[in-house]
Structure 1
Amino acid sequence: FRWSFSHFVVLFYCDEFIRFAADKCGVLSCYANYKAGSCDNVAESRSCLSRVEKECAGDFRYRLIVTALDQLNCSEATPPETWASNPAKETCIWQSGEPEQDWRQCSLYGDTHLRTFGGELQTCRAIGAWPLVDNAYLEVRVTNSLFGKKATILSKVTVGIRAHGGCAMETVYEADIKDSPLPGVFADGATLAGKGVRLVALSPNRVELVLTHAGARLLIRRQGDFLSVALRLPPTLAGEQLCLRGCSASERLPAPHGEPAWLLEEADVACRAANLTGAYLDACVFDVLATGQKDMAAEASGAAVADLQELGATTPYRIVQQPSAAVEKSASAAAIVAGLLLAAVLHAKGCTVLPGAVR
């Protein structure tokens, strides 16, 4: 096969048209990995074009690309094996030498609890969209919304997958709290996005997304009125977003206080029934009190924690919250009483108490 001047002209104008128009049907994903002069890549592009033919048939860029590829006379090129029947090859497997037991886990769930890569469990109040993870392979953004009068919940998860050779095509997965069931396809309607990407609907309300070339695994779950996301990454891909640095101190919520004893007991019983202990139990009690949905909040919390544990996460070593005003006032009062008692003892023994020595 010999290239002619007309081949270059067709490809040049095709490329210029493509660059200056928005992609509405996903045809650019077929063009992104094309490398001029390679019939193997042409075959892969044709295979991709056949999958988007129905959605893109009326798109002028689709017709331009098809025409350009036809003029290359690569009819003998063999299309690559389909991604569905061809599991990720060695080239699409994360290889960094990091043992899997050192990989990090992160999760966002409930109202709203963040389990960081470092093992802290934080309760945050941050309304809006925030980056949970952002690296060269993917971006995970979470959207928090108000729920009732005093609660916030995770309402949307957006996973942006970045193009990575034949392992991944650029695409987006979205899960919304209103989705029932959760989508089993990407935002453009496709079910495939490269040899290293696997999207599986484990149940109507639970989805798994795996990027083998990045060592990433995500579990997204909808439980009643609650949405959760748990993920696992190699430590070198942790990034500097919420999963690593956590919420700012001003966004962390204090532990609940002033609640009736019977209400605390009911919440505790419901959360223990969901097999929660330690910091996870405390977070669950917080959710029950904040949302007023005793059974639903406890079940959602238990399910989210189960996803984290499936990814290999251990129990958080501590729960990080702002101390409540009541706790601070109590601690201050205790310090004053202790100081007065110490002053009284010293005075009784004839010791001089210097002003400011007891605080």
Structure 2
Amino acid sequence: MGKSARSMSPWYLGSTCFILRALFLLLFCRYVSSQCKILRCNSEYVAATLNLRGSNKNAAYCNALRSYSHCTRKTARTCRGDLAYHSAVHGIEDLMIQNNCSKEGPTSPPRPRLPAPNHQGFESLDICNYEKNFFHKNGRPPAYQHCAAFGDPHIRTFHDDFHTCRVEGSWPLLDNNYLFVQATSYPVAKGSNATVTSKLTIIFKNMKECIDQKVYQAEIDNLPAAFEDGSVNGGERPGGSSLTIQERLPGQHVEIRAVYIGTTIAVRQAGRQLSFSIRTAEQVARSFTEEQDLQLCVGGCPPSQRLSRSKCRHGSIAVEMARVLCKEKLPVEDVYFQSCVFDVVTSGDINFTLAAHGALEDARVFHPDAEKLHIFQTGAGCHHLSLPFLSITSSLLAIQLHF
């Protein structure tokens, strides 16, 4: 059976009643002036006395009362005339007498406080959020850059240069202190200099505070929504959630967000080719040494690997037909349109219209300057040819594209 009220100690009854009264004042006295800190004193006292146990609980209780008294004295000047303050002062005096607590003696240790957002703790809390960390240090948001590789492949560099490349085999798109991206290509048709990307390997390098090293690998007909180890984030470290992978369209579009380096990557498949787009912080894009000088996103294709889009190797689809098909998804005759026509004519595969369109849509989202979205290169497109019955044939091909 429980103890009767008479058998309870005066300390227990007095402290319980006072704790309840302090809680009442803490919860309902919201009208207290912001300068009067009595509510903070009340909350610290309640926290210090809620879980007192053991043989030394009386001594610990006296320590809490002395801390409470000390707190009220510090805020006395700003709390004159405050009902909650005067109630607390009288209650402390009564409880110290009831429990034989001396006014002088040890006090309860202060509760640890979280650092304020603008103090030194900020950097450690946000070190895995590049944009916040950069803004805190520099007072402005970071600058971003965009690169893409799609189709033949066509490369749009960080500096908005645009090249069409042969680059058969494996070539690095990026190789810096944080990222390594490699594209592997094969000829689009027998005897053709044009190639398409069949494999992409992306390595997010180990960053001690944020992520374990992660590898993402995509191949034609295998666009996984996870890293090679089966995970979908940066691992067990505190900043592991700053690297995530998400499937936008099953088998066709995956997006990887690396918040810790201010980077977003899109990987797409259209027909029998893969494409790559990236938006990354300028500092990250520039974080490489002289030995890492071969990066297609930085310098574009080497001159010996560049192709002219005006010299189309004609296949099963003629230039005028390709222009009509590409015009449906790319109404502006910029380099994306020219690349689309080149790829459709060279390969005979109308799915290349989707590759160019996807690259343009990524650029629309990723490029930091909307006015530089379109790039125009005079005389870089395939030469026109006039064909009879063009409208009928192109309409049939357009229908085929949707199936």
Q: Which runs of 5+ in 2 are unaligned?
A: 1-123, 235-239, 287-292, 384-403
CA deviation vs aligned residue, 1:117-166 (integer Å, no higher than 9, x gap): 11121100001111111222221111111222223101111111111124
CA deviation vs aligned residue, 1:202-238 (integer Å, no higher than 9, x gap): 1212111111111111000111212101001111222
For this pair of structures, how many residues does the alignment match?
234
Q: Cα distance, 1:109 vs. partner? A: 0.3
Structure 2: distance between partners of 1:115 and 1:142: 14
CA deviation vs aligned residue, 1:74-96 (integer Å, no higher than 9, x gap): xxxxxxxxxxxxxx962211133
Q: Equivalent residue of 2:304, what SS?
A: helix
User: Is contact 1:115–1:121 with CA below 8 Å preserved after alignment?
Assistant: yes
Q: Cα distance, 1:256 vs. partner? A: 3.3
Equivalent runs, 1:41-60 vs 2, <5 Å = none
- Superposed structure 1 runs of 4+ greater than 2 Å apart: 95-102, 255-260, 312-324
Which position in structure 2 is the counterpart of 1:249?
Answer: 303
> 205, 213, 216: which one pairs with 1:162?
205
Q: Alpha carbons of 1:125 and 1:139: their partners in 2 closer, same or farther (altered >3 Å)?
A: same
Rg bigger for which structure?
Answer: 2
Equivalent runs, 1:1-359 vs 2, <5 Å = 90-94=126-130, 95-97=133-135, 102-149=143-190, 150=192, 151-179=194-222, 182-193=223-234, 194-204=240-250, 205-239=252-286, 240=293, 241-257=295-311, 263-277=318-332, 278-294=334-350, 296-312=351-367, 314-319=372-377
Which sits farther off after the overlay, 148-157 or 208-217? 148-157
Identity across aligned pairs (percent)?
Answer: 30
Q: Cα distance, 1:301 vs. partner? A: 1.3
User: Is contact 1:114–1:243 with CA below 8 Å preserved after alignment?
Assistant: yes
Q: Alpha carbons of 1:93 and 1:304: their partners in 2 closer, same or farther (altered >3 Å)?
A: same
Q: Equivalent residue of 1:282, what SS?
A: helix
Taking structure 1 as the reference length, the TM-score comes to 0.60
Q: Could you tell me which amino acid in structure 2 is paired with residue 188 of structure 1?
A: D
Q: Cα distance, 1:280 vs. partner? A: 1.3
Structure 2: distance between partners of 1:224 and 1:231: 21
CA deviation vs aligned residue, 1:25-47 (integer Å, no higher than 9, x gap): xxxxxxxxxxxxxxxxxxxxxxx
Q: Which runs of 5+ in 1 are unaligned?
A: 1-87, 327-359
Q: Equivalent residue of 1:195, what SS?
A: helix
Q: Alpha carbons of 1:147 and 1:323: their partners in 2 closer, same or farther (altered >3 Å)?
A: closer
User: Is contact 1:121–1:316 with CA below 8 Å preserved after alignment?
Assistant: no
Q: Equivalent residue of 2:127, what SS?
A: helix
Which position in structure 2 is the counterpart of 1:351?
Answer: none
Q: Considering only aligned residues, what root-mean-square deviation do their CA atoms show, in Å?
A: 2.7
Q: Could you tell me which amino acid in structure 2 is paired with residue 263 of structure 1?
A: A
Q: Could you tell me which amino acid in structure 2 is paired with residue 113 of structure 1?
A: H
Q: Could you tell me which amino acid in structure 1 is paired with residue 266 of structure 2?
A: L
Structure 2: distance between partners of 1:279 and 1:128: 24
